[in-house]
Each structure stands twice: as structure tokens, then as C-alpha cells.
């Protein structure tokens, strides 16, 4: 892991860092696990080799932005034993849940950045991420707050730079307006193309897209998720 502890990147994070008080077990998981698996950014503003973040050898690096309690991330680790996953989550309740629940034999393929994903993306090299997930993010429903949404032009620029050619970008939400927002912004960006043909595809999860309890609660409440899949366009070669 990168050992420097100061992060000079001036990204602004919105919302609370801590919700409910942590149970003793999760508090212990956070105190012991984050020093082992947490990512800190170099003080000198230098870049990070994503493959160096893991304690086990991996063939691909995936990224999940806002992993919540980590259910989806853990299921992807289970299903993809050669993949290392960087999870970005600024809220300590979610980080502690992931650290408490991730199986011991998978910890070597997990790295956690407990802050704004944009700051980490700025330190990663070009063409290094093989898949990115942005699943059920905060919708920031008020119009004046929409600039806080992760899927917006400057962050799509960051993803376009760091994702490999043909790398998949998966996005999910059960907020209709946010689903339209994510689709329009990504489709208009220019670096990604849509992989699905119609509602019969974006209304259904693919078999390798695990369901989470958060998603189940939304469905039980009458909300209908959308599952969007884009891929990074091939870069123009000189």
C-alpha cells in the first residue's frame, strides 16, 4: 500500500462521513483493517500503480465507486478470483461493514480508498481499469445539488482516461430521473458507447450482476431499477 498519509487533492466531499455509531465489532474491523487495506495518496502528488495496491497477484483491476456496505463488491471478488477490486467509499459505516464481512482469503485482492473517488482517479495511470461500477449512488434530487452527482462530465473524463479500451462501465439506480441523467451524460460524453438494445435489457440484471439488500428494499417499496451498461470506446491510434 502507498504509505504516505497526507492527501493534498482539493476535491470537495458532500454529506456525512459517519452515520450511526459503529458496533464494537465493526469498529474493530475498521481500526485493524483500514491500515492494512486502505489507500493513501502520495504527498508529492505522484501517481499510483493500481496493481501495487493488492497483497495478491491479480490479472485485472476493477473499480467500484460508492460500494455502500460492500455486498456487491464481495460477490464480485467471489466470482472473479483473478481480479483485484478498488472500492471507493467515503462513509465509514460502509467501509467498516465491508472490512467486517469480506472473507479472509479475498482480502489480498481488495483495496479501499475511504474518500472521494475523483481524487484517486487523478492519481491512476491511463488505460488501467478493466471494469467500473457506479451502483445506486446518492441521487442528490434537488436541482441545485445535481453538480454533486458522481456521473457528470469531469468524472466521466476521469473514467475515460483510466479505463481500458472496451472496459465496461456499469451503472444502476432505482431513481428514474437519475437513470435518465446517467444515460444522457454518458451517451453524450463521447468516450463510451451503449451496450444494450432496449428496456428488455436495461430492466434486467445480467447473471454476473449480483443483487443487494439495498436494491431489494427499493423493489419492495415499488421502485424499478435500471441497469445501464456502457463500454469505453477504442482510443484513436496515431
**Which are the catalytic amino acids?**
138
| Helical segments of the chain, H only | 24-37, 71-79, 92-101, 117-121, 153-162, 176-189, 199-202, 213-220
Judge residue 106's burial from the number of C-beta atoms within 10 Å of its C-beta, 0-12 exposed, 13-18 middle, 19 or more buried.
middle
Between strands 192-194 and 129-135, the pairing is unpaired
Grid coordinates belonging to 132: 467500473
Long-range contacts, 96-99 (Cβ 8 Å, 24+): 96/22, 96/26, 96/27, 96/29, 96/30, 97/26, 97/69, 97/70, 98/67, 98/69, 98/70, 98/73, 98/74, 99/26, 99/29, 99/30, 99/32, 99/33, 99/34, 99/37
Helix/strand/coil for 130:
strand
Residue 67: phi, psi to the nearest 5? -85, 0
Amino acid at each position: 500500500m502507498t504509505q504516505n498519509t497526507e492527501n493534498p487533492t482539493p476535491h470537495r466531499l458532500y454529506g456525512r462521513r459517519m452515520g450511526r455509531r459503529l458496533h464494537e465489532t465493526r469498529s474493530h474491523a475498521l481500526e485493524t483493517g483500514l491500515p492494512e487495506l486502505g489507500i493513501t495518496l502520495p504527498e508529492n502528488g505522484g501517481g499510483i500503480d493500481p496493481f501495487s495496491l493488492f497483497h495478491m497477484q491479480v490479472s485485472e483491476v476493477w473499480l467500484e465507486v460508492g460500494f455502500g456496505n460492500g455486498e456487491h463488491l464481495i460477490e464480485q471478488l467471489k466470482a472473479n478470483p483473478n481480479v483485484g477490486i478498488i472500492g471507493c467509499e467515503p462513509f465509514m459505516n460502509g467501509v467498516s461493514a465491508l472490512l467486517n464481512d469480506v472473507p479472509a482469503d479475498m482480502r489480498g485482492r481488495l483495496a479501499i480508498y475511504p474518500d472521494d473517488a475523483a481524487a484517486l482517479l487523478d492519481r491512476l495511470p491511463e488505460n488501467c481499469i478493466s471494469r467500473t461500477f457506479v451502483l445506486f449512488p446518492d441521487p442528490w434530487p434537488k436541482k441545485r445539488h445535481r453538480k454533486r452527482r458522481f456521473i457528470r462530465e469531469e468524472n466521466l473524463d476521469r473514467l475515460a482516461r483510466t479505463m481500458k479500451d472496451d472496459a465496461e462501465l456499469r451503472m444502476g439506480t432505482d431513481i428514474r430521473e437519475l437513470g435518465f441523467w446517467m444515460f444522457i451524460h454518458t451517451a453524450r460524453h463521447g468516450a463510451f458507447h451503449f451496450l444494450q438494445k432496449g428496456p428488455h435489457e436495461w430492466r434486467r440484471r445480467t447473471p454476473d450482476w449480483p443483487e443487494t439488500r439495498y436494491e431489494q428494499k427499493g423493489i419492495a417499496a415499488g421502485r424499478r431499477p435500471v441497469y445501464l451498461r456502457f463500454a469505453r470506446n477504442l482510443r484513436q491510434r496515431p
